[in-house]
Amino acid sequence: MTTTRRNLFKLTGGAAVGAMLTPAPWRLITDSALWSENWPGIPRPRRGEVTFQFGNCSLCPAGCAVRARCVANQPVSLAGVAAHPLSHGALCAFGIAGHHLPYHPGRLKSGPAAEANQAVRAALGQLRGAERCAVLDLRPGRTASWTYRRAMAAIRNGVYLAPAAPIAINLAAAKTVFSLGAPLFDGWGTPGNVIAARDHFRLIQAEPVESRTAIMADLWLPIRPGSEEALALGIANLLLKEKKIAGLPAGFADRLREFPPTMAAMHSGIGEQQIAALARELQDNGPVLVLGENGSPYAAALNLILGAPGRTLVLRREAPVPDDWKKAAPVADLASVPDGSIRVLLIDESATGEALPWSAIQSKLAEKAVVVTFAWSKEGYGRQAAFTLPTAVYPESLDDIPPAVDSPAAAFRLSAAWVAPPDGVVNPADFVAGLAGLAAKDALQERAAAIRKSGRGSLFVPSSATSTPARDVKPDDFWKMLQAGATWIDDLDANAPAPKLDVPALPAGTASSAFPLVVVVTEPDTPALVSPLLSKVYQESNLRLAPESVALHPSDARACGLETGSRARLETDCGSVAVNVTVDSDVPPGVVQVAGGPGIRKICGASSRARVVRS
Amino acid sequence: MANAMSDQADKELISRGLKRCSTPRFVLWMLPWVALLIFGLYAAGLCLVKGLNQTNMDNRFAFGLWIFLDLTVIALGAGAFFTGFLVYILKLRELRAVINSAVVIGLVCYSGAVAVLMVDVGQPLRAWFTFWYPNVHSMLTEVTFCITCYLTVLAIEYLPIVLKNRKLREVPAFLVFEFQLHKLTYVLAGVGTFLSFFHQGSLGGLYGVLRGRPFAFREGFFVWPSIFFLFIISAAAVGPSFILLTTCLVQKISRKRLVRVEVLRLLGRISGLMLAVYVLAKTVDTLIWINRTSPERGFPASQYYSWNPFGTWILFAEIVLFGLVPALVLLTPRLRARTGWLVAAAAMACGGVALNRFVMTVQTLALPTLSFDRFLSYAPSWQETGTFLAVVAYGVLVYSFSFRYFRLFPDERELQAAVPPTDTREADPILAGRY
Amino acid sequence: MTNPNKPVKAARYGMAIDIDRCTGCGACMVACAVENNVPPAHAGANDRKGITWIRVYKVDNGGDGDGRRSAFVPVLCQQCGNETPCVHVCPQQAVDVDPATGIVGQMPERCLGCRYCMAACPYHARYFNWWDPAWPAGMEKTFNPDVAPRMRGVVEKCNFCHGRWHAARQQATAEGKPDTEPVAYLPACAEACPTQAISFGDLNDEAGVTAAAARGRDSFRLLEKLDTDPKIHYISKREWVRRIADAPRPGDGKESRRG
């Protein structure tokens, strides 16, 4: 038999028909759908062993406990630790995506470390007379802070500068909380602690804007912008009724006379009767806690009048330190340094806390001062400093977090180093210690040993959700457990003396027409970097105001010639910063709502006034 | 020399007895449309390569200019099936004068709409999934199947027109094939009507079944909401009007009489009749919707028209101004006799259907559904507009080509003969090539 | 694998969200994006083009000035139980309702990107990938291995963290639990909420916290009259908050830009 072309065609045709009756071609067609699914260029998740590791979040002083789900030792998601006595399982939006920060595009990976070192040493060698070398620490109380203090004690004319914070708040002891615009539910203290204590106190929020805290409050007093002083003094008048109380600043009595309840009502827009009822409530429903913006003298004065010290205000305590550390430099205030006397300034802004306006710092700098800042990005003091040295960011470094403002007991907890930092980063404590010839590499371990030696307090272990008295934990285990995310919490001292409340001086009347808008900060201070996923709450939903943004009422925006999306400059008497503008009819007229961030906080203090100028 | 030869070759493609402009003039006419097509293809290419972020559609305005124009264009192209139905099933022989033109318009409208749909979806390569994993509950499945089938039908109906070309007829195989196809005409017309009935309706059904959008949702008969039937009737109403408009336009551009004026009036009358039925049905449907369907779902109808710029004027415009008025004009023989009124009424009818499609696509999505929603506005980006202009250019190019080389208007030769020839060459039948 | 001969007790997973406890912090939104490998916003994205499987809206009582009161409402896929609109309209069955859990699952690999489901959803819970997803260099190391990232041109939405349900199911099987019983698990948003405003559970479990809250007097669902039978129940003691579940108010010319 010969094979002809016709045979071949018959075979092929029959095979084709036969193949159609098999699953093969249909499966191939279906499978092609799978090929279209995995486009090149879409990254694939990595596989690996899944483990859970514990640590604490160092993005803000709250230091909330974190449980990280790790794949091949890389954190892929973070969650709170439900049974934790301080944070109660809460993590804020920034903390939940904190594991993205090492990959943030704005994050610095290398810097002029050698040049900075050289410049600093040269300047230190040339210190004349009363010129100082200063370290400005934005988050004092850490072990690194002690290293700075020890180093400054060893260096001639070394001074350690940090914001003073001698008072801690015992929220659980409060029955009534009167807040003059404090963001209780928006980045204040430890979120989990505030939420856990919420059902036990009545919250009265006096604020011109309906902030998140105002929405959650039992009573929101929509006061006119800038009238906190009037309201506070009006209430003080009713509470004091000619009584005298020690500890109030000079001029307080005079100011009191300026704001009797009628004037208070007129300025604030709150009726006299309501102010009277408020004063009665504060008097009768104690213990009372009065909160205000940072450094607000009105809140402090009211706290003094209402007897908060010793009840809702307690002495701020730190975890114990080794005895030989106590010979360190004292904590000094920037204001106490003479103008033009700082020749070398080292700023540690790698741990966010209270930022100081650059204008206040600048006046203290000598000519030819060398300024080095240790930061995650160039957006903070990097805009003014000569040298910006990158540090490890949140999940890359083992660091301790001092207790938050609402922690009445001392606490010691560490943030874990889950991710390896890039090679070019600098450890600021090592840098400064190196200048003073200090060996401080094991400072954390030394401090842990000192805490254990004190025999006080208890250790909360997140993996088992149990608390053990510290003295029942073996010293070796103590350090290991701290590194694995445990938290040491001191015992509360029932007989602790009431703290002495220093009421700051009252500010001079400002009402400047040059700065017509009252600044209301409606978003918490964000860390220097936030995960790119925060775009979900910023531009992808308009739920929150993005950092370095302001919101204006339509009439104010029109007056400034601005609309949503405009670039502008927010100017105060402390400086100016570039911002994005949003027009929002929910903003009261006369107010500029700002979102905290490294730039904004450096120009806005308590009760700031500002103007917004098109750039 | 070469020019003259190509001119001669071109002339041989043109049907005998039909006068068409010279080749260079034809090229000059086509050039700007080709340029527009290229620009439009570039816009569409941007959307395919860079993604749909090139458009101004967003999560709330999931459908935009393209869907609105697709629906409009398919409604206007309904003339193809409806005229076929009238000629081959209802035996209205006079309309044979426009059936070829209607088929070309239909082909252009449908193929253009399908092309735009391919750009509109996020994953055009997965278009075949609808055929492979169809969802019997979904109106869109029905639309996809019917439109692709109908496009095939239109292509098959277009073939005879192409094959009747003077030069192509010289190929025996084509002649035989065309003859065989001729026998299928009635079947094709029937199938086309059946398919069109369903997809025109399903395009309306797309919106009528949206339980989550009370503005669009309607009750109906069995699985078909009332909009299903309203869309069919309105498409049938506007089909003849659009053919009327395009025929008048082509007559004007080519400066020739292509159809008898009675045919135009007949088209107008049919359109008017269907339009009147549509307006009646639509009014009843709207009243039921306002008083029962929408309030029962918790949405009082008044709030739909409380947002600028979509006040109640839009409802009035759609049903009365661009619905009832042209219907009455087209049904009045005295007015129908005047070409100006005829054309104006046909244009208003087309406008009314376009407005109706706009209301169903754009207004539905603009209106809020949740109490904390906002009323939204949307304006198409240049890429979206460009893509659609490509379809327009494509349509003009295909139609111009077909008009020049194929016999779209069977009565043209007769009507040209009625005009005394100015050219002696034309007067002689043999020299003029009419044999 | 479930034994086909044993009757499986179907779960109806749902939520009870306490609006009086929601502070609008957005932790749920970020946690959801972390869990489901949602990309960060493209440069051109705004609140109408972003991808937020759960989105917190700011609502108000319509008052003016001092009379205005606001609240925050997290909105996610309502997992409609009755004639689910998106399931009915998808031309290629890229959405289905899982009878064992009641979860409405979206299959991005089947999705054509026609966006018909987005037009059908009255809760605006569906999001389209207008851009190719892009992450900063290195951030892809933080992907959740249980969820596949999507490509551009497809629709995605909340699926009650179906990957977590699956992991819980496997865990239960590994522990020898009978696979006819529904498993307990928490989606990322419920786990992340600092005030525990989001309660998640099996609505068929009458004794459970979520079902009890959903049955409470102060509980309501969005757009009840549309008859979609959503599984997300909202709770508020405030009457004006309960009114936000109704249809929109007629336009009053006021433009609210937030949320």
> Could you tell me if A114 lies within 8 Å of chain B, comparing CB atoms?
no
CATH of the domain at C97: 3.30.70.20
Task: Please count the other Cβ atoms lying within 10 Å of the Cβ belonging to residue C183.
Answer: 20
Give the per-residue pLDDT at C254.
46
Instruction: Kindly report the nearest CA distance between residue A22 and chain B, in angstroms.
Output: 17
**Intrachain domains A47-103+465-494 and A168-314 with the same fold:** no
Across the interface, whether the CB atoms of C45 and A192 are under 8 A apart is answered no
Rounded to two decimals, the ipTM of the complex is 0.93
Across the interface, whether the CB atoms of A536 and C137 are under 8 A apart is answered no
H/E segment holding residue A23:
helix A23-37
> Could you tell me if B49 lies within 8 Å of chain A, comparing CB atoms?
no
Q: Which of A144-153, A223-232, C229-238 has the lowest mean pLDDT?
A: A223-232
Residue with tokens 């669902």: C221
- What rounded mean pLDDT belongs to chain B? 90
C216 strand-pairing partners: none
List, for residues A369-400, the tens digit of each pLDDT value: 999 999 999 888 988 899 999 999 999 999 99
Query: Which chain C residue lies closest to B212 (C-alpha atoms)?
Result: C122
Across the interface, whether the CB atoms of B138 and C127 are under 8 A apart is answered no
3-state secondary structure (DSSP) of residue A313: strand
Please check whether residue C252 lies inside any domain of the structure: no
Q: Which of residues 130-169 of B touch A (CB under 8 A)?
A: 132
Helical spans, DSSP H, in C71-161: 85-89, 116-120
CB A187 within 8 A of CB A92: yes
> Could you tell me if B141 lies within 8 Å of chain C, comparing CB atoms?
yes
Distance CA B167, CA B169 (A): 5
CB A401 within 8 A of CB A61: yes
| pLDDT band, residue A276 (cuts 50/70/90) | very high
Q: In what order do the strands lie in the sheet with C13-18?
A: C198-202, C13-18, C232-235, C219-220
- Interface chains of chain B (3 or more CB pairs under 8 Å): A, C
DSSP A530: -
Distance CA A421, CA A111 (A): 14
3-state secondary structure (DSSP) of residue B367: coil
Please check whether residue C6 lies inside any domain of the structure: no
Q: Give chain A positions within 8 Å (CB) of B132.
A: 29-30
3-state secondary structure (DSSP) of residue B379: coil
Distance CA A540, CA B58 (A): 12
CB C78 within 8 A of CB C230: yes
Across the interface, whether the CB atoms of C130 and B58 are under 8 A apart is answered yes
Query: When comparing pLDDT for A160 and A519, which is higher?
Result: A160
Query: Which chain A residue lies closest to B126 (C-alpha atoms)?
Result: A33
CATH 2.70.70.10 fits A517-614, yes or no: no
Q: At what angle do helices B185-208 and B65-76 cross, to 10 degrees?
A: 140
CA angle A349, A53, A467 (to 5 degrees): 95
Distance CA B210, CA B220 (A): 13
Across the interface, whether the CB atoms of C223 and B60 are under 8 A apart is answered no
Give the per-residue pLDDT at B16.
77
Across the interface, whether the CB atoms of B58 and C48 are under 8 A apart is answered yes
Query: When comparing pLDDT for A353 and A391, which is higher?
Result: A391
DSSP C197: -
Query: When comparing pLDDT for B56 and C252, which is higher?
Result: B56
CA distances from C135 to A419, A542, C127 (A): 18, 21, 18
Across the interface, whether the CB atoms of B132 and A29 are under 8 A apart is answered yes
> Could you tell me if B295 lies within 8 Å of chain C, comparing CB atoms?
no
Please check whether residue C239 lies inside any domain of the structure: yes
> Could you tell me if B59 lies within 8 Å of chain C, comparing CB atoms?
yes
Give the per-residue pLDDT at C257.
33
Query: What average pLDDT does this structure show over A422-438?
Result: 94
Give the per-residue pLDDT at B423.
56
End-to-end CA distance of chain A: 92
The amino acid at A352: T
Query: When comparing pLDDT for A602 and B230, which is higher?
Result: B230
Give the per-residue pLDDT at A26.
80
Whether A156 has a pLDDT exceeding 50, the answer reads: yes
Task: Please count the other Cβ atoms lying within 10 Å of the Cβ belonging to residue B199.
Answer: 27
CB C118 within 8 A of CB C14: no
Q: Which of residues 80-99 of A touch C (CB under 8 A)?
A: 80, 89-93, 96-97, 99
Distance CA C197, CA B357 (A): 43
Give the per-residue pLDDT at A606.
59
- Interface chains of chain C (3 or more CB pairs under 8 Å): A, B
Give the per-residue pLDDT at C256.
38
Across the interface, whether the CB atoms of A29 and B126 are under 8 A apart is answered no
DSSP B360: I
Please check whether residue C258 lies inside any domain of the structure: no
Give the per-residue pLDDT at A248.
83
**Topology (CATH) of A47-103+465-494:** N-terminal domain of TfIIb (2.20.25)
- Say how many domains are in chain C: 1
Distance CA A398, CA B39 (A): 59
Query: What average pLDDT does this structure show over A533-545?
Result: 94
Strands A313-315 and A167-169: antiparallel
Give the per-residue pLDDT at B307.
86
CB B37 within 8 A of CB C105: no
Distance CA B101, CA B89 (A): 18
CA distances from A430 to A59, A326, A441, C200 (A): 21, 19, 7, 47
Please check whether residue C98 lies inside any domain of the structure: yes
List, for residues B60-101, the tens digit of each pLDDT value: 999 999 999 999 999 999 988 999 999 988 999 899 999 999
Q: Which of residues 156-215 of C touch B (CB under 8 A)?
A: none
Across the interface, whether the CB atoms of B59 and C127 are under 8 A apart is answered yes
Q: Which of A249-253, A578-582, C227-231 has the lowest mean pLDDT?
A: A249-253
Instruction: Kindly report the nearest CA distance between residue B67 and chain C, in angstroms.
Output: 10
Q: In what order do the strands lie in the sheet with A458-461?
A: A399-401, A411-415, A487-489, A458-461, A466-469
Rg (CA), chain C: 19
List, for residues B296-309, the tens digit of each pLDDT value: 999 998 889 988 78
| pLDDT band, residue B430 (cuts 50/70/90) | low
Q: Give chain B positions within 8 Å (CB) of A30.
A: 132
Helical spans, DSSP H, in A198-271: 212-216, 228-240, 252-258, 261-268
Q: Give chain A positions within 8 Å (CB) of C30.
A: 93, 96-97, 531, 533-534, 536-537
> Domain range spanning residue C151?
15-244
Superfamily of chain region A168-314: Dimethylsulfoxide Reductase, domain 2 (3.40.228.10)
> Could you tell me if A30 lies within 8 Å of chain B, comparing CB atoms?
yes
> Could you tell me if A287 lies within 8 Å of chain C, comparing CB atoms?
no
Give the per-residue pLDDT at A509.
64
Give the per-residue pLDDT at C258.
33
Neighbouring residues of A366: CB distance < 8 A, sequence distance ≥ 6: A131, A340, A341, A342, A343
Q: What are the boundaries of each domain within chain B?
A: 20-414
End-to-end CA distance of chain B: 27
Across the interface, whether the CB atoms of B369 and C245 are under 8 A apart is answered no
Task: Please count the other Cβ atoms lying within 10 Å of the Cβ belonging to residue B300.
Answer: 13
Instruction: Kindly report the nearest CA distance between residue B407 and chain C, in angstroms.
Output: 39
- What rounded mean pLDDT belongs to chain A? 91
- Interface chains of chain A (3 or more CB pairs under 8 Å): B, C
List, for residues B146-205, the tens digit of each pLDDT value: 999 999 999 999 988 888 888 888 888 888 888 888 888 888 888 889 999 899 999 999
Q: What are the boundaries of each domain within chain A?
A: 47-103+465-494, 168-314, 517-614
Give the per-residue pLDDT at A211.
92
DSSP B307: B
Give the per-residue pLDDT at A608.
79
H/E segment holding residue A483:
helix A475-483
Please check whether residue C211 lies inside any domain of the structure: yes
Query: What average pLDDT does this structure show over B241-269?
Result: 93
| pLDDT band, residue A37 (cuts 50/70/90) | low
Q: Give chain A positions within 8 Å (CB) of B123.
A: 36
> Could you tell me if C38 lies within 8 Å of chain B, comparing CB atoms?
no
CA distances from C160 to A534, C81, C95 (A): 21, 14, 14
Ordered per-residue pLDDT tens for chain C, 259 residues: 445 555 567 899 999 999 999 999 999 999 999 999 999 999 989 999 999 999 999 999 988 777 889 999 999 999 999 999 999 999 999 999 999 999 999 998 889 999 999 999 999 999 999 999 999 999 999 999 999 999 999 999 999 999 999 999 999 999 998 877 889 999 999 999 999 999 999 999 999 999 999 999 999 999 999 999 999 999 999 999 999 999 887 765 444 333 2
